Amino acid sequence: MQIQDGLIHGPDRWAVVLPIKALTSAKTRLLPVNDPARPELVLAFLQDVLTALSDSQTVAQVTVVTDDVAVQQVATASNHSWAPEAPHRGLNEAALFGASLTPPRLGVAIMTGDLPCLTGEVIDFVFRFASIYERSFIADTQGVGTTMLMSHSIAGCTPAFGERSRAHHAKRGYVELGLSETAPERDRLARAHRDVDTQVDLWDAIRIGVGAATTAALQRNHEP
């Protein structure tokens, strides 16, 4: 981190951590537990996120933290690294473990795996703003949760994902991005806000525009 003219100039390159739970227990509000389309869609969301990260110019490293074999295989197929979640159980514990694998001089970004609208260009756009603030975050569309959490260093990484994480991160001193940007910039950031937990979320994601993997999964399963 550098300070010039009173402004913080953070890292140009970032390490991204994606803590991903087992597919068998993921997104139960999206589709019934016994619906085979549910884990397929969840995996497709992740594939689109990994593709966006591969397309980003500012991402230097990606680590998927998971014990799910199918997720590990997708990470490997996408030329990204994975690390086992056990014994770092829980979203925040897994996120911190993944962050601990970050090389020096890289910023740390923790990201959810259910952002099928994300693109490499949007990721670069977010990280450009994140380089200004030592710690920052992107809230979800509902304004309750968090989709992306950025820190200039591992020392500043204190994730509080879970219920009402937006409020928790703001209380911990993270700066919320997307509040003071122009209308076109806020429209672009919609792709970073739009996580998918329910059918309504999925409809909105389709409206914004989802990636190729999610599109293919929807076509196979005729969803939503």
CATH code at 90?
3.90.550.10
180 lies in some domain: yes
223 lies in some domain: no
Token pair, residue 170, equals: 């703001």
pLDDT single digits (tens) 4-47? 444 457 899 999 999 999 998 888 888 888 888 899 999 999 99
148 lies in some domain: yes
13 lies in some domain: yes
Distance CA 183, CA 17 (A): 29
Largest CA distance in the chain: 57
Region 82-89: what's the mean pLDDT? 93
Distance CA 141, CA 164 (A): 13
Assessment of whether the complete model's pTM goes beyond 0.85: yes
Token pair, residue 149, equals: 């959490």
79 lies in some domain: yes
Range of the domain at 12: 2-215
**DSSP E strands: which ranges in the chain?**
2-4, 7-9, 14-19, 59-65, 81-83, 107-111, 135-139, 146-151, 175-176
User: How many CB atoms neighbour CB 65 within 10 A?
Assistant: 27
133 lies in some domain: yes
Question: How many domains are contained in the chain?
Answer: 1
Question: Residue 224: which pLDDT band, with cuts at 50, 70 and 90?
Answer: low
168 lies in some domain: yes
Reported residue count of the chain is 224
Of 224 and 22, which is predicted with more confidence? 22
222 lies in some domain: no
Token pair, residue 19, equals: 């803590």
